[in-house]
Amino acid sequence: MSIDTLLSESQRYGSDERFVLLGGGNTSYKKDGVLYVKASGSELASIGPKGFVKMDLARMDSIWANTYSSDDDEREEEVLKDMMACRLKGEGSRPSVEALLHALLPFSYVVHLHPALVNGITCSVEGKRAIGRLFPDALWIELVKPGFILAKIVRQRLAEQKELSGKISSVIFLQNHGVFVGAESLEEIATQYDEILKRIDAQLVRRPDFTPMGIEEKRRVAIVASLEKLTGEKVVSAMNREFSRYLATVDAFAPVASSFTPDHIVYSGFKPLWVGEGESVDEAFAEYEKLYGTEPKIVGVQDTGVFSIGEKPLPLFFDTVRVSVYTESFGGPLFMDEDMIQFIRNWEVEKYRASLPKA
Ligand SMILES: [Zn+2]
């Protein structure tokens, strides 16, 4: 086994949309006291050797002896600084925000993904119970802040498991997020993922029907023109049988009208804009901006179609719909709560600020 195998497997998961979309998900490998973990900002599908950061595992473990601020922003900043200091000499990239979690899982390989099928459970009302029933050996983690807090809670749970049974879970399901799988080989991980998807798929009472439908051309062109003028971005549209169910009324839209996971917020916005029959797109857009202080990335127009500001939000909106349909098999959809949505939104702003060149 080598880093090459990790690279090809990472690319395979990254290019398979059953597992992950756009920049989501991350992988890692541990050898001789060194953690090779995906760098923040690199995408699994196209990852190369430079997409991994080498980190000192012993030093990462010493992070647990530190105390950090109780203020979210301060804590994230302090932890990031300590994490950066754990990189081996010469490493320039920033490690994934989940690097600490990768480090503490006692497996040579860890693959973290956001499969829509898995999120059909983790973002459902019966999530915890369904996981307990289908995957009795797995660990369930309730909705917690990603990064340091998530790693801290998983660390506590694993310690409790170990004390109780002497064993720990190699599969960890995270509410409103996805799943971590660890093993001594990538083959074992692949087998685990196949089994996870198969077992969930067998429970489904309904699957999404994305059979394409047309949008009346004159109306489509008018909406695209309005949105392009408002945003200065390329606007793309989509309509299909599944979307048409959600676009029938504002109530029908509710099961896709918020955010299931952090990735959905990052790529398709925390909340799509709903435009009802007879309402003006321009007015609804302006009202949204005034209310939330940000522009929508997805616009759903009643009985018409879905419009995406830029090309990136659209695949994540398809994912929202897919997840929402899957949740019907597990008691219905459960979005992240308002506090968490707010935390992720602030975090995004911080990350964006951090990426700007210093004046
Ligand atoms: Zn993730």
Place of tokens 């660990």: 139
Amino acid letter for position 156:
Q
pLDDT digits (tens, 9 = 90+) for 52-72: 999 999 999 999 999 999 888
User: What is the structure's pLDDT at 358?
Assistant: 43
Residue 76 makes CB contacts below 8 A (sequence gap 6+) with 147, 148, 347, 350
Instruction: Give residues with Cβ within 8 angstroms of 236, minimum separation 6.
Output: 307, 308, 310, 311, 314
3-state secondary structure of 288: helix
Cut 0.85: pTM above it:
yes
95-104 pLDDT, tens per residue?
Answer: 988 999 999 9
Is residue 36 classed as helix, strand or coil in its secondary structure? strand
125, 164, 117: which is closest to 143 by C-alpha?
125
Find how far residue 315's CA is from the centre of its chain: 13
Which pLDDT score is estimated for 348?
A: 63
Is residue 30 predicted with pLDDT exceeding 90? yes
Degrees, nearest 5: CA angle 252-24-329: 35
- pLDDT over 90 percentage in the chain: 79
Kindly give the distance from the C-alpha atom of residue 346 to the centroid of ligand 1, in angstroms, as a whole number. 17
**Quick one: pLDDT at residue 1?**
54
Number of Cβ within a 10 Å radius of residue 317: 24
Task: Write down the pLDDT at residue 354.
Answer: 54
Region 95-123 average pLDDT: 95
CA distance linking residue 324 with residue 218, whole number of Å: 30
CA of 146 to the centre of ligand 1 (A): 8
pLDDT by residue (tens digit) across 335-356?
999 999 998 888 765 665 555 5
* Span from the CA of 308 to the centroid of ligand 1 (angstroms): 23
DSSP track, 147-196: THHHHHHHHHHHHHHHHHHS---SEEEETTTEEEEEESSHHHHHHHHHHH
Neighbours of ion ligand 1 (CB under 5 A): 178
| 171-199 confidence digits (pLDDT tens) | 999 999 999 999 999 999 999 999 999 99
Residue pair 117/200 in contact (Cβ under 8 Å)? The answer is: yes
At 18 the pLDDT is 87
Residue 23 CA to ligand 1 center (angstroms) comes to 10
Q: Residue 359 above 50 pLDDT?
A: no
Which string of b and e fits 70-90 if b means at least 16 CB within 10 Å? eebeebbebbbebbeebbeee
Q: What domains, with CATH codes, occur in the chain?
A: 3-201 (3.40.225.10), 217-355 (3.40.225.10)
For the chain, give the number of residues.
359
Residues 293-334 have pLDDT tens digits of 999 999 999 999 999 999 999 999 999 999 999 999 999 999
Going from the Cα of 341 to the center of ligand 1, the distance in angstroms, rounded, reads: 15
Angle, helix 338-355 to helix 72-85, in steps of 10 degrees: 50
CA distance linking residue 317 with residue 273, whole number of Å: 12
Output the CA 42–ligand 1 centroid distance in Å. Answer: 13
CA 10 – ligand 1 centroid, Å: 14
Edge-to-edge, what's the strand order for the sheet holding 52-56?
52-56, 34-38, 26-31, 109-113, 178-183, 171-174, 139-141
CA 179 to centroid of ligand 1, rounded, Å: 8
Q: What is the CA(147)–ligand 1 centre distance, in A? A: 10
Q: Mean pLDDT over all residues of the chain?
A: 93
Of 165, 169, 177, nearest to 135 (Cα)?
Answer: 169
Short-list 38, 28, 19, 88, CA closest to 60: 88
Q: Which two tokens stand for residue 277?
A: 């029959």
Q: What is the pLDDT of residues 211-237, one digit of tens each?
A: 999 999 999 999 999 999 999 999 999
